[in-house]
Structure 1
């Protein structure tokens, strides 16, 4: 309708003017002195408090309480912010003021919108996983990825880093190659994994009860990663079918990748009689009823994946970096990878997860739904052979995970303030 065009133009003009005003104010703020007691944290492109930055923030509050921590969060994710945690909305006036004057910057991805790194600011890139799939400059070898990747922008971002955190020697080797820069390498472990070494049996019991896992049930966590060659969340197994085949002694926790929003969409119409429980449902409240109701639980919206790992007796893995974190717990891992060939062709990987070689494969491997169910029915998932593989995998990828990574990182990164 023609009469709507001016409205759109006016709205666009207002947004443009606002952006210009913000940038002008930011340029002014860049001339302000740095605040030696201000740190800005961000995670997963400003999705809220999570991952390594969250663990570092918590430890910084303990070891350096005079350093004020402020989180950068996008407006659409502000509801994720815990009560009492200071934050600024991405793109707002307080956001640009904080980015211009904070002495410390911590992120596991990047701060959207761009910013000017000032002399004297210390930027810690924590990353958010151990790389199995190709990353950074290594993606140039894969045309489908290279076409939509701005490598110059990646290098410009790397140029801002003062420190790059590694979970293990494998990560350090990869980061050095795919993110070349003059930053200092911190081989200190992942702070987000400290919880796996410090959580008590009481902590685990409380988490399981909160998820509605009955005493004596075996909880399996299925958290597949994003596929570049797929649209939307398309799991490689039918959670309801697997729950039905394994019976009432098992409960399946399903967590979709954060790219797909806050729900895995499992259960519901057509999901079978098992039903599912949404992550926001109250304890014991099932979204469906029937035989085995509640045995498939959508935990995509749960705020802490670390809690889900603590609750799970085993991980059903594909190519997610969660494999490397879960290995810290020394609990069974089953690799279910029916599309391994397609994934390697489209994205590329640094080693063969399905090879069966100690250090490369963390446990039993399946490629069909029937094989997956049989692994649990026969006990192969926790066999001595699987334990040997898990031990070698853990030794390779969890050498620094002793529960004190956050302390080491804070003491190194915030050294000028301690």
Structure 2
């Protein structure tokens, strides 16, 4: 008997069905059966199901002779299910990678509850993904499992079947089934949650909910949208049949009004001739199911034990008006108010645009006036990656060095409001685009950046521009991007050369960087080949700092923490890790933990969430890469330039050469990492697992490769690079403190290296000896 029965009805989804079925069968948790129901689909859905079933014995195809609808098709799948838990997935949606493993882990943690509710994201054809706005309701804090009365806020979630795992014997015992017609999820989900003796939540995205422009049920005008009334009749009939369930009537009545208002407001659901009929039926429906003494009932609901703080008991005024119009069936009033609301939004939009134009003109005037005033020799402005980034990187290290070696200089950091907390005490915080920002841009003598300076910048006589760039170059940059149009679709060599002409200094970490920067960014600047300022924190940290960082990240004391940091690949619209981390960890055993820092598309900020399991920690949104390096015991990466910084720590690096030909064809590569790798090289998941299982990741051969790599790319990273750059820029010093020789540097060892100086590592049962090298 499998753990999961995944039921997928299919009707007119031939373009998406392959992706749906593959997302289930490719899960790292293989203990499942996939019941694919061809609901009399006239397209190729049936053939696709049979084709996939021929390849994978876990697929159980079911063919219906005629179209019965989504609800009956799911019932057919449930009748054939044998798994412990039922999961539903629509034929045009997909399971997120690792979803079933996360669900299985959470079910085990919470004692196999009747229902597990998990999260989803909406995915659009443009590639945009939007997480569920009510995701906060899925927090895993507090007792689990629980009953609905303990956390009634779950009723604020989307009432669908595909965001839940339901215990099969519980469903069979209660006799729950899907009704025919549209909105079949409504009379399934409410009784399911109200009846369940044990519920748990999983704060993780498990389903990608596809938003189709055409073809979806909810986006097609049809008279069958009137089925919503029959579905709520079933919900309230259920309340009358269950003892002590009547206390939920006010909440469900409010949810029904929300639902009816949504159906009526959407122009893509009701045909024009059905709108008046919908409101007439809504008025009769609300009278039939109204709550006696409704206002009194709503007030008393707050006093019912377990329902205190139910969201929606106090309905906002705007929503209350909309509900009243639906209850009373006031079509003309509803249309008039909707028109007035649209007019008000239009007016507000015009006012906002006018205000924005006025503000922009005022800021331009302010910047011009500030440029008429003298440059302040005691001011310095720092920013990172197009402004608004967290304090850190090379500019962050130089900002701290400026304050240390030149305390007379007042520093400022440009950071957006959401990241102001990352700026340490000392520098002034300015918001990019504000008047204070333009004042600093116009009058600060020193301007430091690691990417392009503000395009509105007009360099003045007396200003000094310091460009730190992005570290040691691995991918093609600057003028070389002309050879890689896929990496830079619209290269602007003339704009690049104009920007380079304003630079006074370029910070370089090594000879390779100097030669590359001078060629791809030709200009009259001075190269400061003094090391990578951002690596200073790696060389000045102590063992106590490492222990504290590991504790903050939740890394067990005796675990090997592997930092997994793949590079962003410009040729992929959706950034997917090259490793199945759950699979790798299961093979390696409980002695390993992964700190996963996965790339995100440009302009997308990471969404904080729970890790996939206790051993995969999502650190994508962590503000300090240096902290992650210090907390880890090894780095696994593909083509990320982070390897050059990490090599200075003299800790193991494993190169996972994932799609090397595609990466080099699109982005290019300066150093040949196959000829000079920073450590062991794996070309597949199994090779990577073998490297760690045998100890080759920290063996003698890997140490030799790392030593040569470190000597080539980290000759000046001794913990004082930022100080040398600051002294050269501010005071013009040329007789700088000497660089600490490579053989005399003592970077802080990793936690595992201190605890297990030999090749003896903790295993599943106890210490086990592994081969140091192959």
For normalisation by structure 1, the TM-score amounts to: 0.88
Q: Indicate the larger mover: 82-91 or 173-182.
A: 82-91
Q: Conserved in 2, the CA contact under 8 Å of 1:132 and 1:351?
A: yes
Q: Which has the larger radius of gyration?
A: 2
Q: Indicate the larger mover: 187-196 or 75-84.
A: 75-84
1:310 and 2:310 matched: no
Structure 1 residue 128, shift from structure 2 partner: 2.1
Structure 1 residue 32, shift from structure 2 partner: 0.5
Quote the residue 1:40 is aligned against: 381
Where does 1:385-396 land on structure 2 (aligned, <5 Å)?
385-396=701-712
Q: Secondary structure at the match of 2:573?
A: coil
1:167 and 2:509 matched: yes
Q: Secondary structure at the match of 2:479?
A: helix
Quote the residue 1:180 is aligned against: 522
1:117 and 2:465 matched: no
Q: Conserved in 2, the CA contact under 8 Å of 1:40 and 1:99?
A: yes
Quote the residue 2:689 is aligned against: 373
Q: Secondary structure at the match of 2:382?
A: strand
1:262 and 2:606 matched: yes
Number of aligned residue pairs: give it.
389
Structure 1 residue 14, shift from structure 2 partner: 2.2
Q: For 2:558 and 2:369, how far apart are their aligned partners in 1?
A: 61
1:364 and 2:680 matched: yes
Q: For 2:371 and 2:538, how far apart are their aligned partners in 1?
A: 40
Quote the residue 1:287 is aligned against: none
Question: Among residues 640, 645, 657, which one is paired with 1:320 in the alignment?
Answer: 640
Quote the residue 2:393 is aligned against: 51
Q: For 1:368 and 1:27, how far apart are their aligned partners in 2?
A: 57
Where does 1:13-412 land on structure 2 (aligned, <5 Å)?
13-46=354-387, 47-82=389-424, 85-257=427-599, 259=602, 260-263=604-607, 267-268=611-612, 275=613, 294-353=614-673, 355=674, 357=675, 360-412=676-728
CA-to-aligned-CA distance 1:176-199 (integer Å, 9 cap, x gap): 011111100100001111122222
Structure 1 residue 391, shift from structure 2 partner: 0.8
Q: For 2:564 and 2:620, how far apart are their aligned partners in 1?
A: 10
Q: For 1:144 and 1:333, how far apart are their aligned partners in 2?
A: 29
Structure 1 residue 112, shift from structure 2 partner: 3.3
Q: Conserved in 1, the CA contact under 8 Å of 2:485 and 2:491?
A: no
Residue ranges of structure 2 left out of the alignment (5+ in a row): 1-338, 734-774
Residue ranges of structure 1 left out of the alignment (5+ in a row): 269-274, 276-293
CA-to-aligned-CA distance 1:244-279 (integer Å, 9 cap, x gap): 2211111100112364523587844xxxxxx1xxxx
Structure 1 residue 18, shift from structure 2 partner: 1.3
Which protein, 1 or 2, shows the higher relative CO under an 8 Å CA cutoff with sep ≥ 6? Answer: 1
Q: Conserved in 2, the CA contact under 8 Å of 1:233 and 1:264?
A: no
Quote the residue 2:203 is aligned against: none
CA-to-aligned-CA distance 1:302-361 (integer Å, 9 cap, x gap): 2211111111111001111100000001111100122111000111111321x2x3xx21
Q: Secondary structure at the match of 1:300?
A: coil
CA 1:42/1:163 → structure 2, altered by over 3 Å: closer, same or farther? same
Q: Conserved in 2, the CA contact under 8 Å of 1:42 and 1:71?
A: yes
Structure 1 residue 404, shift from structure 2 partner: 1.0
Structure 1 residue 78, shift from structure 2 partner: 3.5
Structure 1 residue 378, shift from structure 2 partner: 1.2
CA 1:89/1:343 → structure 2, altered by over 3 Å: closer, same or farther? same
Q: For 1:416 and 1:91, how far apart are their aligned partners in 2?
A: 31
Q: Secondary structure at the match of 1:251?
A: strand
Q: Conserved in 1, the CA contact under 8 Å of 2:505 and 2:526?
A: yes
Q: Indicate the larger mover: 145-154 or 214-223.
A: 145-154
Q: For 2:574 and 2:376, how far apart are their aligned partners in 1?
A: 43
Q: Conserved in 1, the CA contact under 8 Å of 2:380 and 2:446?
A: yes
Q: Secondary structure at the match of 1:104?
A: strand
Q: For 2:425 and 2:620, how far apart are their aligned partners in 1?
A: 21
Q: For 1:154 and 1:256, how far apart are their aligned partners in 2?
A: 29
Q: For 2:727 and 2:460, how far apart are their aligned partners in 1?
A: 22
Q: Conserved in 2, the CA contact under 8 Å of 1:42 and 1:110?
A: no
Q: Conserved in 1, the CA contact under 8 Å of 2:371 and 2:443?
A: yes
Q: For 2:537 and 2:371, how far apart are their aligned partners in 1?
A: 38
CA 1:136/1:197 → structure 2, altered by over 3 Å: closer, same or farther? same
Q: Conserved in 1, the CA contact under 8 Å of 2:508 and 2:514?
A: yes
Q: For 2:692 and 2:510, how far apart are their aligned partners in 1?
A: 30
Structure 1 residue 373, shift from structure 2 partner: 1.0
Q: For 1:232 and 1:73, how far apart are their aligned partners in 2?
A: 28
Structure 1 residue 145, shift from structure 2 partner: 3.1
Q: For 1:182 and 1:111, how far apart are their aligned partners in 2?
A: 17
Q: Conserved in 1, the CA contact under 8 Å of 2:390 and 2:623?
A: no
Q: Conserved in 1, the CA contact under 8 Å of 2:562 and 2:595?
A: yes
Q: Conserved in 2, the CA contact under 8 Å of 1:263 and 1:298?
A: no
Quote the residue 2:172 is aligned against: none
RMSD in angstroms over aligned alpha carbons? Answer: 2.0
CA 1:89/1:164 → structure 2, altered by over 3 Å: closer, same or farther? same
Q: Conserved in 1, the CA contact under 8 Å of 2:487 and 2:571?
A: no
For normalisation by structure 2, the TM-score amounts to: 0.49
Q: Indicate the larger mover: 224-233 or 330-339.
A: 224-233
Q: Conserved in 1, the CA contact under 8 Å of 2:654 and 2:682?
A: yes
Q: Secondary structure at the match of 2:648?
A: helix
CA 1:378/1:323 → structure 2, altered by over 3 Å: closer, same or farther? same
